[in-house]
Every structure is written in C-alpha cells, then in structure tokens.
Amino acid sequence: MGNTNCLLCGCVDQANIGVIEKWGRFDRLAHPGFHWFNIFAGECLAGSLSTRIRSLDVKIETKTKDNVFVQMHCSIQYRVIRHNADDAFYELQNPEEQIQAYVFDVVRAHVPRMTLDELFEQKGDVAQAVLEELEKVMGAYGYNIEHILMVDIVPDPSVRKAMNEINAAQRMQLASVFRGEAEKTLQVKKAEADAESKYLGGIGVARQRQAITDGLRENILQFSHKVEGTSAKEVMDLIMITQYFDTIKDLGNGSNNTTIFIPHGPGHVRDIGEQIRNGLLEASSA
C-alpha cells in the first residue's frame, strides 16, 4: 500500500472479492483490481474471500433400514456468491463445519428409510436431497452449492463378506445348471450316435447276409445245370458241409490260442446244415 494525500491504495487479487469497511461497518465490496481507501474517512480493506470452487469431503456413518451400518463418503463443491460476499464474510465463522452438520442431518434422516440394496441403487436421490437442503440454507449465508457427489458407500466388513459369499453362491448355482445342461446334451448326442451306429451296423449285416444268399443261389443254380440229376437241396447240403469244414479249418489255423468245443458227427453236420439253410431262407424272404 502507498500513502498519497491521506489516501491508501491496495489491490484485490483475481478470483477474490474484497470487503471494505467504514468506521468498522461494512461499506461495499471491492472487485479484483486496484483500489483507493480514504483513511480519514475511516475506510479500510477488512479482508477478502476467494470465489473459487472449493471441495469438502464428508464421511458419515449411519444405519440402513435393514440394520446394516454403512459409511458414506460425500464430496460437496461450493463457492462464495459474489454479490452476497458480505454475508459469507460476516455471518459464518466456519462454513465447512456448518455444511458438514447439515449433510449429517439430511443423510441420517434419509438413509434409515432405505435398505442396503436400495441405498446403492438410489444414492443419487440421497445426494439430491442433501443438495436441496444445503442450497436452501447456505444460500442465505452467501454460499452456493455447485455439486454433491456420493463418492462411496462402504458397508461393515462382515456385511461385505456375506454379500460376496451370496454372489459367489449364486454364480456357482448358475454354473452348475449350465454344466448339467452340457452333460445332458453330451449324453443325448452320445445316445443318438450309438443308435445311428447300431442302425448302420444292422444295415451292413443285412446286406452281408443278402450277398451271401445271392452268392449261394448262383452257385446252386450253376452246379445244378452242370451236373445232371442233382437237386437244389443236394447241392445246398454239399455247400453247407463244405462251408462247415472250411470254418473248422479256419478256426484251427487262427493265431489266437483259443479252444472251442464243437459237437461233431454225421447227425450234427446235418443239423447244422438245416439250421444254416433255414437261416438263409429266412434272410431271402426278408
């Protein structure tokens, strides 16, 4: 400050508002820039207030409707109203304590009416209620509430652990359902594949028997035409007996050391021939 003809000069910084008093009483507001003060008229710069947005973090512990203790972290952004800076300068000695008290009062009035799940879903409603109350009260003291954010909601550690266990159990149950559906699908597909395999195997066996039947029929017809005086039954018996001995020969020449007991004799050979003949006839009719 300088002294020229009983005048004092001073500056109010940018983003601030000065409060000028005259003989100890409020006179006017001083905007940022250079100002003269007449000391003989009792003028002086009593102080200044910042008009920047300030942030206040508040932690509130309260209880929900379902008796769960939670700690809420709230961030309040506020600033001084320029044309009401004198109210902000003279009315409140500690505005942060006043704001914090109102936040406590509003939050503890709203949260006990909500369950924990409702609180997580409707935390914006709580912030809006706090904003409306603070704007109504703090506006009279020269402060404007810019924003209120419910930054975090922290339940008791035991409650958080229980909530995580419930969520994990629900996910395990859902995984079990999907695993069961996958196993069911696998079993159905396996059964369908087995049925298809048996069906195709049956078709293969039927075709094999049909081919054998056709081959034997051709052999019988050729043998009957070339050898006069022989009947189809005699040729069939001869072929069956030949096939019978060929089968015994193949079993004896097999690489596996397996013993098979087969009844052998003229009567048994005839019985086997009749059984094979009947089988071929049934296959042909089918």
Quote the CA–CA distance of 194 and 273 in Å, as a whole number.
Answer: 35
Structure confidence by residue, pLDDT tens digits, 146-167: 888 888 888 877 777 777 777 7
Structure confidence by residue, pLDDT tens digits, 184-222: 888 888 888 888 888 888 888 778 767 766 776 676 666
* Tokens found for residue 136: 């109504």
* Tokens found for residue 117: 């799940």
| pLDDT higher than 70, residue 17 | yes
Q: How many CB atoms lie within 10 A of CB 43?
A: 19
Q: Delineate the domains of the chain, giving CATH numbers in brackets.
A: 9-50 (no CATH), 54-155 (3.30.479.30), 234-285 (no CATH)
Q: Which amino acid is at 178?
A: F
C-beta separation of 269 from 241 below 8 A: yes
pTM: 0.53
Handedness of CA 140, 143, 144, 145 (dihedral sign): negative
Within the chain, how many helices (H) and strands (E) appear?
A: 7, 9
Quote the CA–CA distance of 182 and 184 in Å, as a whole number.
Answer: 5
